[in-house]
Structure 1
C-alpha cells in the first residue's frame, strides 16, 4: 500500500474518548486513536502507560468506563472477547494461549468448533490451514504437538488461530520477545504479507528499532494518555523515546573500552541434570575476568537459567568445576547455597524478579534486607535485627536508584515492574560483589529504567567487577557486553567480540547452526 493509498484508506479502528480506572488508578484517560485499514500501527510507552489496558478494552477483556469503539466506521460495543472475535478482531498474546499437549489443528479449532462432532471441524480446519499457510507463509504441520514446536512455530499457530476465525484486525503484544533474530525477520515478512492482503495490525512493543522497521504509524502513550501519533517515516527512535519518557534518553550505553584484570570466575565442563534427569547443561566452560561483562545470548530455555541457578547456589550440579578467585566452589549443594555464595562475593539478580527476587506481599525494606539480614549494620544485638536501620538503608537505596514511589513501607507488589527491578538491582549491586550474576536485567522494564539499570551495570564493571549477563535481548547483549557467548541446547556454541560479529551470525548460533554447518 502506497502512502497515498494509506492516507485515503478508511479507518479499521477508531477509539473515541476511552477512559478506564482501576480504583484510584486512572489507566486510560480520554484516549482517542485512529488506525487505517491495511496498515501496521505501533503502540509504544513505558510500563504503566496504559497500552495493554487499551488493547484489552479493544479485545473485550475490559469494559471501558467511558468512550466508544468504531470498527470499519460502525459503532461496535465490545463487552467481551467473543464480541471482539465476531467483529473481526484477533489478539496474539505475549505469552501464547496454547494447549501444549494438543496438536496444531486441535488448538486452532478450540472454541471455534462447528458442532458436537469434532471430525468435520478437524477436516475443515486442516484444509483451511493448508490454504492459509500457502497464502501467508505460515507453514506448520497441522498434526504436530505444540510442545514439540519451536517458539517461532508456536507463534505461527497463534496467528493461524486468528486467521481461522476470520480476523481482519490483529493485535500483537510484544511479538518478538522470545524469538531469535531469524524468527523475528520471518514474523515481519508474515506481517508484511498480511498487510498486503488488507489486514490491519496493531503491534505493542518496547523495541523502537522494530517500530522503525515494521510500522507505518506509531502512537505514543504516557501515564494513561495518548501523547502523539506520527508517521513512522517522519520520526526517529530518539524522538519516540523522548515522547515516551518526557525527557531525552540515551538509547545506547556510553562506555569506555574494557580493561580486564585477573580471572574472577572459571567454569569448567559444567553438567546439570534437572529433577527428571534431563541434561540441561552439557559441559559448559568459560571464564570472566575483573572489569568485563560476559554476555550470554540465546533463546530462553537453552540452559541459561540453569547456569545462573548453579552459579547462584540455587541448584546443585551433576559434575564440573567452578572456581571463584582461585578457590573451588562446592557444587553438590551440601555445603553451598545462596547464602554462602553471597559471603564469597557473588551477587545475583535473578531472571524472574517476582518469583525469585522479591516476596511480593512484603515491604520494600524487608525485600532489600533479604539475603543480607546478617549484615552487622542490620543487627541491634545478637537477638534482634535493627528494623529502623534497614528502613533507613532502603530509603537511601531508593533515592540513589530513583525508585518510585520512594516508600520503604510499600509492599513490593504495589511497585511497577521497572521499580521492582530497581529494588532487586539496588540490593545486589550495592553489596559491592566481586561477581554479579544478572539475568534478563530489563525484562518488562520501560525505556527510562532500562537506561538507568544499564548505567549501573557498566559502573560496576568500571569498578573492576566481573559480570555475567544473561539476556534474550540482542540489543542489550551488544550494548553491554565486552565478550559474547551463545548458548543453544545446554552448550556454548561459540564466543565472539561485539565489534567482530552481527545479529545474523549470533542468530545462527542461537539456532544451533555453526559456521561450518551453515
Structure 2
C-alpha cells in the first residue's frame, strides 16, 4: 500500500491582478523524496513555493500536510508547521550576524538563549561541513556564503518539508556537490524535499520532476523514465538547439587592463597585478571558483571599484578620471553578479530601471525625463526579452529572478556598443533564455564589441569564448585558447597551477 505523502498540493491557484501565476497546480512529495519543479522563468515556480512557505495566500486549492489541510497567514506559521524555504533571493539582514539572522523570528519569548542557539548552529555546521562563522556580519559575506546561511536557517528548524529555490545559483561546482551530499543526507533522514532548478544535471538527480509552463502543470515524470531532452521539450514546448560559437576574427585591441591591483584596508590584495587585453569582436572568458577576483575585476573596469595601482583603457582612452556614468558613455555595459541588489532598484518600475544610467542623456528632455521615450524603450525590452510582467510600471522587486535578470540584460546589452562586462549573465535562467542570451553575446561579438564573460559554467565558457583567463586568489594564472584547452587544464589553473599566457 502506498504511503501517505508528507505534502500534497491540490488545485493551487494564485493570481496577481490579470496574471495567473499558478493555475490549478497539483503534486505530491513523500518522505525521503526529492521532487523537482522544472519550468521556464515566470512559469510560477517561485510563486508556488512562496504559497507553500506562507509568503503568499493561495486564491484557490489547498495545501495538505501529513493528511491535514493547512492554511498559513505568515511564513512563521509555515515554519511552525514544518515547512521551510531556502530563498533564491536572500532574506537576510546585512547588519546582523549569521547567528542573529538564523534566530531572527525563530526563537520565541522575550529573551533569546544565544549560547544554546550558537551551540546548535555550530553543531549543524560541523555535521554538514559548512564553514560559516556565527559571529560574522552577513553584509561582509560572499554571495555563496549567504546561500549557506539561508540553508542553515532552514536546517536549524529541522523541517519536515524543505523547499530549495535555485540553491546552487550562487555556488561553485565544489559547493554545489557539497549541497547535494547534504540533500542526500536529508533524504535518508526522511525529509520531503522540493527543488527548483534550471540545471538539467541537478534536475536529473531528483526522484520525480513536475514540469510547469505558464503556471500550469504540463507533465510529471519519474526521473528514471525520462531524459533531459524530453523535459526541455515539455518545459518550453519545442526543441532547443545549442549553437556553437562559430569562428571569430578579432580586430584591434579595444579593452586594455594593465597591472591592475586592488588592496584591502589591511594591505592584502583582492586583485594582484592583473593584465590582459580584449580585442573588438572577441569574447574573453573569465574562469575561476567564486570569490577569486572575478567580481572586483569587473567592477574595477566599470568604475564601480577604485583600484590601488595599474590602469584601464578603452580604445586607448584612460579611464582613471571617469566615473561610472562617464565609462558607460564610452559604450560599456556591465551585467553585475547580483541582479537584485546591484543591477536593479527594487522600488523602481521596469521602465525606470531600463532608463537607469541613460536618464541624463538618452532619456533626457532638457531638465526633465522623456517619459515617452522611456515607455517606448521599456515596451521594446519587454517584447524582445519576453519579460513576464503585468506592465512596464511593475516594480522590479515584484519580478521573478529570471525576469529581473532580463531587465538588467536588456539595459546593459543596449548600452554595450564597445565593451560588455557580463558577470554570470545566465545564472538562474532556464535553457530557453540561456540559448537566447548566448545568441546575443555572439551578436555583440560579431558587431565588434569586446566581451568579458565570467561564468561558473565551464562548458559555456569553452563554447562561447575565444580565449579564457583563469583567476585564482585574485591573480591571473594564465590565458588559454578556448579551442585547444580542456576542462581539466582549466581546472588545474583554478586550483592555483600557473600557466603562461597563450
Answer whether TM exceeds 0.5 for this pair. Answer: yes
SS in 2 for 1:11: coil
Q: Which residue matches 1:481?
A: 465
Q: Which residue matches 1:122?
A: 115
Q: Which residue matches 1:39?
A: 33
Q: Which residue matches 1:515?
A: 497
Cα pair 1:486 1:493 within 8 Å, conserved: yes
Deviation at 1:40, TM superposition (A): 1.0
Partner Cα distance (1:142, 1:429) in 2: 38
Deviation at 1:370, TM superposition (A): 5.3
SS in 1 for 2:175: helix
For residue 323 of structure 2, the aligned residue among 323, 328, 337 is: 337
Deviation at 1:354, TM superposition (A): 5.9
Q: Which residue matches 1:259?
A: 249
Deviations 1:161-188 (A, max 9, x none): 4344231221111111111211111111
Partner Cα distance (2:342, 2:201) in 1: 31
Q: Which residue matches 1:238?
A: 229
Deviations 1:419-449 (A, max 9, x none): 6655654555457733322233234444333
Q: Which residue matches 2:313?
A: 323
The answer to which of 292-301 and 454-463 deviates more is 292-301
Deviation at 1:13, TM superposition (A): 1.0
Q: Which residue matches 2:19?
A: 25
Q: Which residue matches 2:358?
A: 371
SS in 1 for 2:243: coil
Say which one has the larger Rg: 1
Cα pair 2:76 2:105 within 8 Å, conserved: no
**Aligned pair in 2 of structure 1 residues 257, 388: CA closer, same or farther (>3 Å)?**
same
Cα pair 1:395 1:406 within 8 Å, conserved: no
SS in 2 for 1:60: coil
For residue 180 of structure 1, the aligned residue among 153, 172, 178 is: 172
Partner Cα distance (1:496, 1:144) in 2: 41
Q: Which residue matches 1:76?
A: 70
Q: Which residue matches 1:492?
A: 476
TM-score using structure 2 length: 0.81
TM-score using structure 1 length: 0.79
Deviation at 1:329, TM superposition (A): 0.9
For residue 434 of structure 1, the aligned residue among 401, 412, 418 is: 418
Deviation at 1:12, TM superposition (A): 1.5
**Aligned pair in 2 of structure 1 residues 146, 183: CA closer, same or farther (>3 Å)?**
farther
The answer to which of 386-395 and 168-177 deviates more is 386-395
The answer to which of 340-349 and 361-370 deviates more is 361-370
**Aligned pair in 2 of structure 1 residues 296, 391: CA closer, same or farther (>3 Å)?**
same
Residue pairs, 1:392-431, within 5 angstroms: 401=384, 403=386, 413=396, 421-422=405-406, 425-426=409-410, 429=413
Q: Which residue matches 2:261?
A: 271
Q: Which residue matches 1:248?
A: 239
**How many residues are treated as equivalent by the alignment?**
495
**Aligned pair in 2 of structure 1 residues 107, 457: CA closer, same or farther (>3 Å)?**
closer
Deviations 1:340-372 (A, max 9, x none): 445545444455556666677467499469539
Deviations 1:474-499 (A, max 9, x none): 45434422222233443324434446
- Does residue 48 of the first structure (1) align with residue 42 of the second (2)? yes
Cα pair 2:261 2:269 within 8 Å, conserved: yes
Q: Which residue matches 1:3?
A: none
- In structure 2, list runs of 5 or more residues that go unmatched: none
- In structure 1, list runs of 5 or more residues that go unmatched: 1-6
Deviation at 1:122, TM superposition (A): 3.1
**Aligned pair in 2 of structure 1 residues 455, 187: CA closer, same or farther (>3 Å)?**
same
**Aligned pair in 2 of structure 1 residues 53, 347: CA closer, same or farther (>3 Å)?**
closer
Cα pair 2:257 2:277 within 8 Å, conserved: yes
Deviations 1:126-166 (A, max 9, x none): 26853x567x5445577663658776666555444434423
Partner Cα distance (1:107, 1:289) in 2: 46
SS in 1 for 2:246: coil
